[in-house]
Amino acid sequence: MRELVILGTASQVPTRTRNHNGYLLRWDGDGILFDPGEGTQRQMIHAGVSASRITRICLTHVHGDHCFGLPGVLSRMALDGVAHPVHLHYPASGDEVVRALVSVSSPGIDLRLHPHGGSGSVADGLQVRPLKHRIETYGYRLEEPDSRTLLPERLTETGIEGPDIGRLQREGALAGVRLDDVSVPRPGQRFAFVMDTAPCPGADELADGVDLLVAESTFSNDDGGLAGQYRHLTAGQAGQLAGGADARTLVLTHFSSRYGDDSAPLSLQAREKAPGTTVIAARDLQRIDFPQRRRWPQERTAAADPVDTVTPQNSSSRGGSR
C-alpha cells in the first residue's frame, strides 16, 4: 500500500480544525513520518494509524510546529514495544534541539539518529536538498528505481518458464531472448516533501518529475510580501513549483491561520500556475492515495497484460544512512 495520511495542516498557529504539521507516508512495508508537530500522537489515533508502523522519521527543520510532537510519538512507540529500528533524519544544526526532544521521551526503542548537511543521499532511495528558510532546512525526495514488468504471453511464446524466468531477470538474456523482448518498462514512483522555504533551486530539484508533491502553501498570493519576509511559499508559488517540475499531484498544506478553514482560494491560485497538475488542499485526517504508476508508450501497446513485476530492493529500505 502507498498512501499519504495527513495528520495536521496548520502552520505556526493551529486552529480548531487544523492541527500542527504531521504527514505519514505509507510506502509498502515502511511508514515514514514527516515533521511531527505538537499533537501528532493524538492525530494518529484519530486517523486510525499505528505509531508502531513508523520505520523512519524525517524533520525538515527544528521549528516547533515541525518537531514538538516527536517526544509523544517516540514515547508511544516505546509503550507499544516497537522492536524494529527507527531512523531519525534531521539537519545537523538542529542536533541539540533534537537530542533534547529525544531525552524527554520514554526510552526503550532502537532509535538511530542521522543528522545530515548538504545535498545527497541519507538512505536507500531517500535524498535531501537544502531549502531557503530562516534556519537550516531540508526537503526530502523518495525515489523508487525504474524496473521492468514481465509479459506472460511473450514468455510463453519464447518458451521461457520456471527457473529460467529468474535467470533471465538476473542475467538480462537467455537462449537468445532478451529481457527487453518479454517485458515492458516499469517506471519507479517518486515523492517529494517541501516545507518552509522561499522559491529556490533545492525545491525545484526535489519536485522534478514526482508523482506526489507535498508543498507548503502558507500564504495567499495577496500576502506575497509576508511570504518573502518569512521565507515561505504563496499558493501561487507552490503551484508554479509543481507546474514547472511536471509534478502529477500537488498537495497544499501548512496554511496560515489567517485564512480560516477556506482553502478554496489557495487551491485556485495554485491551479492557475499548474494547469496540468492535480491540486489538493489537504485536510486533517485525510488519506491521499498515491497516483497510479506512470505508463510508458511501450506499455500502452503491449499485447499482454503485465502481471509479474521485476522489482529492485525497496527504495525506502530500513537500513541506516548511506
Report the catalytic residues: 65
Cell numbers found for residue 249: 499531484
CA atoms within 13 A on the CB side of 222: 6
d(C-alpha 245, C-alpha 129), whole Å: 15
61-91 core/surface letters (b: 16 or more CB in 10 A; e: else): bbbebbbbbbbbbbbbbbeeebeeebbbbbb
- Whether 20 contacts 67, CB under 8 Å: no
Q: Is the dihedral of CA 235, 237, 240, 245 positive or negative?
A: negative
Residues 138, 142, 146, 149: what is their CA dihedral angle, to the nearest 10 degrees?
A: -170
| C-alpha Rg value of the chain to the nearest Å | 21
- Whether 45 contacts 15, CB under 8 Å: no
Gap between the terminal Cα atoms of the chain? 25
Eight-class DSSP state of 290: P
3-state secondary structure of 226: helix
